[in-house]
Amino acid sequence: MRIGRWLGVLIWAALMSSIGMAGDVRVFTLQESIEYALKHSKAVALAEEKVRAAEAALMEARSRAMPQISTNASYLYYGKLPKVTLELPALGGLTPQPAPAMNGLQQPMTGVGLPTREMQLTMGAKKNFQAGVTVQQVLFAGGSIYNSIKGAELNLEAARLDLEATRQEVIYQVKEAFYGVLLAHKLLDVARKAVRQAEEHRKTAENLVKSGVATKYDLLRARVAVANAKSQLIQAQNALRLAKERFKLAIGFEGPGEVDVKGELKAEEVEFDLSRLLEKALQNRPDLRAMRLRAESASKMLNAAKGSFLPTVSLIGNYGYTDNEKQEGQTTWSVMVRADLPIFTGASRYSRVRQAESAMKQARLGVERMEEGVKLEVRAAYMELERARATLEAQKEAVKQAEEGLRIANLQYRNGVITSVQLADAELVYTQAQLGYYQALHDYVLAIAKIKKAIGEE
């Protein structure tokens, strides 16, 4: 019995633990959402890798300006050494003597009455060791190295600005998703209030029918209003779930449980000057600044390509050591200045220059096109803010009027002055006014975020 009781306790604890884990909800503030997204965003990670690649490219460009040092070593073993035969005069006496017979044949006599003889020598050594060091430093390369380094530095700075632009884009997407969840919560609250109002209306209709003041038709309409309000409540609940899923995607949330947000939709009073916004956008936008740097880098790459038509002057130093069993080790060294100038390369250098010119023109056209796009984005965000501001002010007044109208309609309906149809109309107007207000408030807050993104601010 005790074993069964303990087993039951363990099963119950496991079930409660699983239920608790399934019901865990992680709540994010706006700042926490941004920090989490920047840490888990794949777009940010990709931009960071591009920065690392640009840093490596700059290191590679700088290496061309540094001394190039190489070493070599070899060990050579001859299994059979080559031999050479030499003919030498025989100086054994004054009387000419014939050379020794070779293979049964008498050797001819050469020289002035002197005989000759053959001597066979073994060339080289069987064991040979050689080592050396070569140092080469480019002294002049027509400016190609300098311009390549400058171009790589500009590309690195552009990659860092691209990273900043990516961060700003992620921050805006997080704000948009965050405000979307807040709006969904507000719309859900309005839907719940509408259900409560419809329920109260139904109860009032039941009492009025019992007292004979209202008809069954009024009660039927009240019940239909309750059903419609509950249907809208279900839609608002689904909209909140969808908004939370979008928020998860925006911050890169993968891990167990659900998410929610903590914050308020507040109408911050801001004033912007369009001309000033345009000026700040053209100065501060990181993606636009990156495009300008790439255009400047393309100009440097063009100069580097043109430098290939000039000679390359290098200083070369060699130091070597040789050793074998027939002689002591020896060292050698040399210094040389060498100039290289290709005469004909199949038009490859000319083609590279043309490609660099085209790349520079494309980059400059890209800058002009982006500047126009940035201006349009700023103007659109500014007009959206002005529209949202005006709509918000109108909706504030609409909510006040609709709330007062609903209060009066409820009193009149209880006193039998108006019909249920008129009361339902007042409730609908009030609900729509609330929905319009929160939507306008959301649009206003998001419009401010759009303007900050458009001018390159977080």
Tens of pLDDT along 328-353? 889 999 999 999 888 888 888 889 99
Whether the pLDDT of residue 199 is over 60: the answer is yes
Does residue 411 lie in a domain region?
yes
Higher pLDDT among residues 106 and 454, named by residue: 454
Angle at 436 between CA 432 and CA 437, to 5 degrees: 120
Does residue 239 lie in a domain region?
yes
Q: CA torsion, points 185, 189, 194, 197, in degrees to nearest 10?
A: 170
Structural domain of 380: 27-66+151-310+351-454
CATH at 258: 1.20.1600.10
d(CA 171, CA 458): 7
pLDDT confidence tier of residue 10, bands split at 50, 70 and 90: very low
Compute the residue count for the chain. 458
pLDDT confidence tier of residue 129, bands split at 50, 70 and 90: very high
The whole-chain average pLDDT of the chain stands at 86
pLDDT confidence tier of residue 314, bands split at 50, 70 and 90: very high
Are 444 and 388 in contact by the 8 Å Cβ rule? The answer is yes
Are 130 and 320 in contact by the 8 Å Cβ rule? The answer is yes
d(CA 75, CA 324): 10
Whether the pLDDT of residue 368 is over 90: the answer is yes
* pTM for the full predicted model: 0.79
Task: Give the count of domains, the chain.
Answer: 1
Does residue 317 lie in a domain region?
no
What percentage of the chain exceeds 70 in pLDDT?
89
Does residue 316 lie in a domain region?
no
User: pLDDT at position 114, please?
Assistant: 57
Mean pLDDT, range 442-458, rounded to an integer: 93
Whether the pLDDT of residue 12 is over 80: the answer is no
Q: Which residue matches tokens 């000033």? A: 276
d(CA 191, CA 157): 51
Residues 6+ positions from 361 with CB-CB distance below 8 Å: none
Mean pLDDT, range 240-262, rounded to an integer: 92
Does residue 232 lie in a domain region?
yes
Does residue 83 lie in a domain region?
no
Does residue 145 lie in a domain region?
no
Whether the pLDDT of residue 82 is over 90: the answer is no
Does the CA dihedral 385-386-392-398 come out positive or negative?
Answer: negative
Mean pLDDT, range 145-158, rounded to an integer: 94
Does residue 167 lie in a domain region?
yes
Lowest average pLDDT, out of 47-51, 201-205, 243-247, 447-451, goes to 201-205
